[in-house]
Amino acid sequence: MKVKISYKGSTLIAGVMGELDHHSAEYIREKIDSELIKATTKNVIFDFSKVTFMDSSGIGVIMGRFKNVQKLNGKLSVANVSDQLMRIFEMSGLLKIIPAYDNIDVAINKM
């Protein structure tokens, strides 16, 4: 599991690669949270284009970051979500509070 961090203005883009499961959740949490404490970061976009698998731990990672971003008066969204992951997001109710976009550019424009 890797996380590629990049920025577009005050928006952090977290490109998650590989499997997002209970083995990798803590690493991803720490990596993103360490970036969130930087004064310039307000919004977060998760790029799921390279995620091959996700379990409920991944939902927990997203929800936890969502709560942290809310404290900063920012927004969180997901982009490039596969059909398989989209079903998980829909079943979990995640899409009721976190928007999903087709690509990073659309997500950035909606921030």
The Cα–Cα gap between 91 and 56 comes to: 11
**Per-residue confidence (pLDDT) for residue 111, from 0 to 100:** 84
The Cα–Cα gap between 75 and 66 comes to: 8
**Per-residue confidence (pLDDT) for residue 104, from 0 to 100:** 95
Q: Using an 8 Å Cβ cutoff, are 79 and 106 in contact?
A: yes
Which residue carries 């920025």 as its tokens?
7
The Cα–Cα gap between 78 and 55 comes to: 16
**What residues does each domain of the chain span?**
2-110
3-state secondary structure of 10: coil
CATH code for the part of the protein at 2-110: 3.30.750.24
**Per-residue confidence (pLDDT) for residue 36, from 0 to 100:** 87
Using alpha carbons, select from 50, 45, 51, 54 the residue that is nearest to residue 79.
45
pTM above 0.85, yes or no: yes
**Per-residue confidence (pLDDT) for residue 45, from 0 to 100:** 97
Residues 33-92: tens digit of each pLDDT: 998 887 678 899 999 999 999 999 999 999 999 999 999 899 999 999 999 999 999 999
Using alpha carbons, select from 23, 97, 16 the residue that is nearest to residue 56.
23
